[in-house]
Structure 1
Amino acid sequence: MRLPNPKLTARMKHFIDNALKGQPLWDICCDHGYVGIKALETSQFSEVHFVDQVPHIMERLETLIKQYWRIKPEHKYSLHLLSGEELEMDVHGTMLVAGVGGLTIKTIVSALIENKKLHAKRLLLSPHTDEKVLIQYLDDADFQKIYGVTEKILMPEGKRFRPLYILDLK
């Protein structure tokens, strides 16, 4: 297996910088897992949860963590092979959802709220598409009773600028 280079973009570093230290970090739709891996390496989080519904992504990530990245035993992590909205565990700490569309982010967040599983103090949401769908959801009065946007940042990534919404529990 070819070892990927887990370099983080400035945007990905910003995710880690804005996650709440000493608490769990949930990397939803984790894809290659680079953000979660770097979060583990920093030892700043009580545990890191990787969530993705694609079996080969999670199998590869587990192999890489165990064989190549040499994550220390004290670094607690869990891999969850399912869609973010299907999580049955309570989500605490910081929840990151990035690299997917605003509709997908809305679906995940709203399902977790509806199922009373979302208790994260901070949400980091960074859509690649459908930003208007996410904005409408974040502006909803019922949603605003639970979370408030504390910051919106446009982060450069290649030739594009990607939004990052930082929300805190009220």
Structure 2
Amino acid sequence: MKLSQRLAAISQQINQHYQDIWDCCCDHGLLGADLVKRNSADCVHFVDSVPQICLQLEQQLQRYLPYSSSSLTAPWQVHCQDVAQLKLSENDNQLVIIAGVGGELCIQLLKGILVHNHTVDFELIICPVHYQYELRQFLLSNRFGLIDEQLIEENQRYYEILHLSTTANSPISQIGDAMWDLSKPEHKAYLNKTIAHYRRMDGKMTHPALRAYETLQEKNLLDNS
């Protein structure tokens, strides 16, 4: 099956060879299968906590991406487990991918991964469905630095793709920096939609994200006035 625009954008972020790639919450495994076919890693690990998903995925992989049992290293493995309990290899060149789940769940999963791998450096590609501001705050305060970020639109929904590393020195912006191109209508639409969301939120205290996004909007208006 052809990759969606979102998954294709994530795949394009992967332009080097890794020893291990961990495709977490992998669902149908389309992204991981693409990475196996591209020989992007010595081993692509498919990780999901739903037994039925893992069983069906393993059957599909054995059918379409078979490998000899005599191989010294398998090009893929399926792991039925909680991503928060993931134990990465001590090898260099580890990439963890978490995509297609909410930002709150991303934070819970990453808390577990960091606890179980506190001595391991790794790269992370993350693409949350929502709760991006709070997720960025968590990432900023937990070892991660920015490699790249991208904003894409797919089926009238917007996705922030962050490529990070525990060894990168560039700080993570709380609302994004490199991903914005406000000359593009879809970027303006996403910014306006995000501001409207925070303005609708209940409570006596203004959400700190609102002022940050409004400042970005005001700067863009001034730059184009």
Higher mean displacement: 113-122 or 153-162? 113-122
- TM-score, normalising length: structure 1: 0.84
Say which SS state the counterpart of residue 165 (structure 2) adopts: strand
Is the partner of 1:100 in helix, strand or coil?
A: coil
Alignment of 1:10-89 (within 5 A): 10-19=5-14, 21-23=16-18, 24-67=20-63, 69-73=64-68, 76-89=75-88
Indicate how the Cα distance of structure 1 residues 161 and 45 shifts in structure 2: closer, same or farther if over 3 A, else same: same
**Which protein has the larger Cα radius of gyration, Structure 1 or Structure 2?**
2
The amino acid that maps onto 1:150 is I
- Are 1:126 and 2:127 counterparts? yes
- Quick check: which one's strand share is greater? 1
1:160 to 157, 162, 180: 157
**Aligned residue-pair number:** 160
Gapped regions of structure 2 (runs ≥ 5): 168-225
In 2, the alpha carbon distance for the partners of 1:77 and 1:54 equals 18
For the aligned residue pairs, the C-alpha RMSD in angstroms reads 2.0
Question: What are the superposed Cα offsets for residues 17-64 of structure 1, whole Å, 9 maximum, x if unpaired?
Answer: 223532121100001100001111111211100000011111110111
Identity %: 24
- In structure 1, runs of 5+ residues without a counterpart are 1-5
Q: 1:100-131 CA deviation, whole Å, 9 max, x = no partner?
A: 01111111112111122673532101001222
Using the TM superposition, name which of 69-78 and 101-110 deviates more: 69-78
Is this contact kept in 2: 1:94–1:120, CA < 8 A? no
**Equivalence for 2:219:** none
Normalising by structure 2, what TM-score? 0.65
Q: The residue matched to 2:41 in structure 1 has which SS?
A: coil
